Structure 1
């Protein structure tokens, strides 16, 4: 596929939650079996449905996928990733509060992480976030 073909694809909007616990760790989840990149680690979230805002989609997806109801979602960064199967526009939001217990409803795994992450492989769309977190940590 040429670079022109890749950029001609309309991106799919995806809401992504970067959840932080009280110890400053962030949550990564493995992609479930049957999905593209199954077993790769990523931040939780999913596609926006028609008429949804990023925060509405994130709230819905996290209830569906991991069983929690998030508090405020702070919009953080937007990043476009070109995967062989799709072009995605990732809307990353920081989340520091939620209710409910974690329930991996799609058979995925979860891990609270710090930098450098100890889980692998990491989804390519997750790598820029790890770089941004490292930049923020260096600026503290």
Structure 2
């Protein structure tokens, strides 16, 4: 039983939580690829892990494979995505749930299709970069994992 007034429905958790997937692409030197958010988008200029929103009916892995193709023009096999960590952060009247995967294998050379720039960075050097609030807690975990 809820205490909501009659005629008023509660928002479902699907309306409140925004699932987002991201990848830590790790090169042979242990660096991770970050992309810079373009002007005109929220959080413009910040450095982030590539990825994006999970569309209705999509699995997180399928969403990440699609986003990496759209944003970086690379192909990542499903079997090469290793779930690594998650973070959450308030985002307006919603809550962002960020699922981070690690991959060391992909085909193609990453290109900045939607981002302003790309940069390969060691996890310890990420602390000096401006990053979105949900990405920051993942830095220490990444450093420990790779």
TM-score range, shorter chain: 0.7 to 0.9
* Structure 1 equivalent of residue 137 of structure 2: 128
Work out the CA distance in 2 between the residues paired with 1:134 and 1:89: 21
Note closer, same or farther for the CA distance 1:100–1:135 as it changes in structure 2 (3 Å cut).
closer
Match of 1:52 among 53, 58, 65: 58
Q: Note the C-alpha offset of 1:41.
A: 0.4
CA contact (8 A) 2:86 2:138 kept: no
Matched, 1:40 2:40: no
Q: Normalised by the size of structure 2, how large is the TM-score?
A: 0.80
TM-score normalised by structure 1 residue count = 0.84
Structure 2 portions without partners, runs of 5+: 1-12
Equivalent-residue separation in structure 2 for 1:20 and 1:35 (angstroms): 26
Please tell me the root mean square deviation across aligned C-alpha atoms, in Å.
1.9
Where do 5+ consecutive residues of structure 1 fail to align? 1-7
| Greater Cα radius of gyration, structure 1 or 2 | 2
Q: Partner residue of 2:9? A: none
Distance 1:28 1:103 in 2: 11
Q: 1:74 aligned to 77, 82, 104, which one?
A: 82
